[in-house]
Structure 1
């Protein structure tokens, strides 16, 4: 039977749009046979390929860091898939906690080993305790799920008794929960006979020289011509304030040697009022310009106190104010 006869028999009936049921059945049967034949051929091929792969023993990668675990699996022609991460204080971050299949299982090369990694202990940020009464500092640590560690005392000219002067670790550091934070607390003013270094920053060098003469302390003056402050203003000191000055010890001051006077230079003013609530705060004021950043104030201030600074422009473009290490305000210099 030729193609023409085939066409006329199945498609050229009185109703040209109707295909004979027998033809549909035969075509469907052939298609079904071809489908199953293809499926079994594919399955047989894949089974042959898989079983031709070498069997290996899954290695133990639990407790290994990610790079070492991946290298171990690669050497055995195995693959890795990360299933997730879990907090675990006793296992370092990035270490394998679990694996599937487990160590010792017989697998074929190319097998995917699913792993879960440790994220270490849950992390928290250390708050800034400087300027807080010890009781408040301890409560704040508890709120952050941290613990108060060793407490030592030091005399202070600027902080009330019981106020935190310094801390270790430093503020804003990320640590694990229940980490110890050690503090140094003010013991109040020093007794007679103990000489402590005042905070001379942003004061005139004449004031420091008068103090040094009174207590017979040698001064070393270093000049800084790039300072924003008028000539004769102390911009840094070593040792830092509140350090006990032993007999014969030298105090080094960095003094502005900027040319010109306050009357001949254009200045901008910085005014900031410390919040009435809470306790002492650590205030830091920084001027930013094309030549870099310049610290123009750094010290503890009581609640409700005011800070007023007159600073030569000196290329300053904006001022940033930090309270307890946190940026609270940024102003353009006008």
Structure 2
């Protein structure tokens, strides 16, 4: 009699079944057969658990509860889908922003050279545009690195006139680097006597070429003691517009002989009066870039 009284006061205890991963209908039947009640607390997206299947439960499986206890469960909505945006032809930054807006992630980015396609432009993608995928999915992108880099064998420029070399370098898509002038006997003025890279070297489009050129001088006299030398200087590539200043210092003092705006690649030719030890200082945008001694 005492045992029966304790049983009636305590109530019948039931072990909570494991409902996780089960279909919602099956979970209802299992709970009912166990003398328990089932309540759906909420549903939420889940990529691991199929739609309408149990993600979690409370109380947990194996716990002893009284008959009629309510088991609260969270039910899977399955994965939430998004349409992959079509990003072909767009730049990489825009593509990454669009993926983020759709709840997708940027996957592997592979760069390839492609003629006629600007650098940073999307060439292809996987999955394709408008494909329906789960949110959080990674989308791989094939991105243009721009046109293929052209490779040349460096021609022999020695003996050529500087003006001819300028045209040749431009036609090859190369850039003029440092140009050094030297006094050399029995060589044609303004002709190239040395170059870097050397003839036969592999050079890429856009690479700088440095030259050593025979200094052009003239025996023109300005009175009893003046000799004139030709100063030749090309503005290096970089800034589109540059303030170029040339100052000459000799036994007569210092004088500014040139001050003007010049574009990158432009060449100036100035006649310098050589009076004793003469130094021509070349300034580019306020910075001393070269000194020539005569």
TM-score, scaled relative to structure 2: 0.38
Structure showing the higher strand proportion among its residues: 2
TM-score, scaled relative to structure 1: 0.35
Please identify the structure whose Cα radius of gyration is greater: 2
